[in-house]
Amino acid sequence: REPLRLRYRGATVTTVPPPSAGGVALAQALGMLERFEAGDSRAPQYAHLVVEALRRAFEDRARYLGDPDFVEVPLARLTSAEYLAERARGIPAAAARGAAQAPAPAGEAARGNTTHFSIVDAEGNRVAATLSLNHLFGSGILAAGVLLNNEMDDFSLAPEHPDSYRLRGGAANAVAPGKRPLSSMTPAFVEDGKGVLVLGAPGGPRIVSQVLLAVLDYVHAPVADLEAILGAPRYHHQWWPDRVEVEPEGFSAEWRSALQAKGHRIEAAKRKWGNMQIVFESKRDGRAVTASDPRGADVGWY
């Protein structure tokens, strides 16, 4: 399948097509955000726009996305400028539009196990590869030395049954023999006048918001500051549950109040999340530099 390629404020972003839903969400969120003036993605006013773009992208995922070998995914329409302009028109300047409310599922989301590699070689070849067993040690079954994953959780059992990441979905992502489940994996390349950024991360649905924030931070800044991109606190929205999840100690009381004043419910996660890996190849001097998430492998995804 062809990679998904899009333009965002002069940068070319290359990412994955379905059955990963991550690339589509990234393309949709960027397409919606391009309708607004670029801003600081950690400032409350702009964070509100990012959250609303994520909400709409995850809503479309739940409604339309599934394995394209099994279901008709309206990919061209979902990523078209006309459709995204229409979706962005509904982003209210002042107030959050809540997701349909449903009772929160009990219990903690399961811990995950996903790895991302970002690679650039001396000949300029690039790899952004995210590999997932889904939960910690996958299914916990070793077959002939190979650890089996438990990606079945990435299918939607029924609209009222969220998966372990609390993602909801429907018929398009229902289980069928030979079908591939949706994924949130969002390996990406971003190329602009500054250079080429190769990135990705683990984190279940929080992969999408991590990569989106990193792309916004990279494209909106005049120089590539990898430490700033990786070190900045993260927030996340996935349509349902209807809340902005924030990393602990990442956001001030004023920040939270500003988002709450716009109608958002804020929920502090117990731990920081993600383990993003970046390579940046500069167009100025041709040098490639690498940077790893300061949260480190121990923090994992949650």
74: helix, strand or coil: coil
Q: Which of 79, 173, 184, 210 binds ligand DON (CB under 6 A)?
A: 184
> Segment 84-123, which members bind ligand DON (CB under 6 A)?
112-114
By CB under 6 A, the count of residues binding ligand DON is: 16
204 touching ligand DON, by CB under 6 A? yes
Q: Which of 154, 217, 242, 247 binds ligand DON (CB under 6 A)?
A: 154
Identify which range of 11-19, 34-42, 198-206, 233-241 contacts ligand DON by CB under 6 A. Answer: 198-206
Active site residue 114: yes
Nearer to ligand DON, 134 or 209 (CB): 134
Distance CA 302, CA 203 (A): 7
What's the token pair of residue 124?
């300029």
Distance CA 225, CA 203 (A): 22
CB of 299 to ligand DON, least distance (A): 10
Nearer to ligand DON, 185 or 276 (CB): 185
19 touching ligand DON, by CB under 6 A? no
CA distance from start to end of the chain: 31
Q: Which of 15, 132, 156, 238 binds ligand DON (CB under 6 A)?
A: 132
CB of 269 to ligand DON, least distance (A): 14
Nearer to ligand DON, 165 or 255 (CB): 165
Nearer to ligand DON, 66 or 300 (CB): 300
91: helix, strand or coil: coil
CB of 104 to ligand DON, least distance (A): 20
Residue 180 near residue 67 (C-beta atoms within 8 A): yes
Considering 14, 114, 130, 186, which one is annotated as catalytic?
Answer: 114
Which residue type sits at 49? L
Cα–Cα distance list, 102 to 59, 65, 161, 168, 192 (Å): 14, 21, 10, 11, 42
CB of 133 to ligand DON, least distance (A): 8
156 touching ligand DON, by CB under 6 A? no
Cα 65–chain centre separation: 15
Residue 159 near residue 169 (C-beta atoms within 8 A): yes
Nearer to ligand DON, 41 or 149 (CB): 149
Residue 198 near residue 32 (C-beta atoms within 8 A): no
Nearer to ligand DON, 73 or 185 (CB): 185
CB neighbour list of residue 114: distance below 8 Å, 6 or more residues apart: 130, 131, 132, 133, 134, 185, 202, 203, 204, 207, 301
298: helix, strand or coil: helix
Catalytic residues: 114
Interface residues with ligand DON (CB under 6 A) are: 112-114, 132, 134, 151, 154, 183-185, 202-204, 207, 300-301
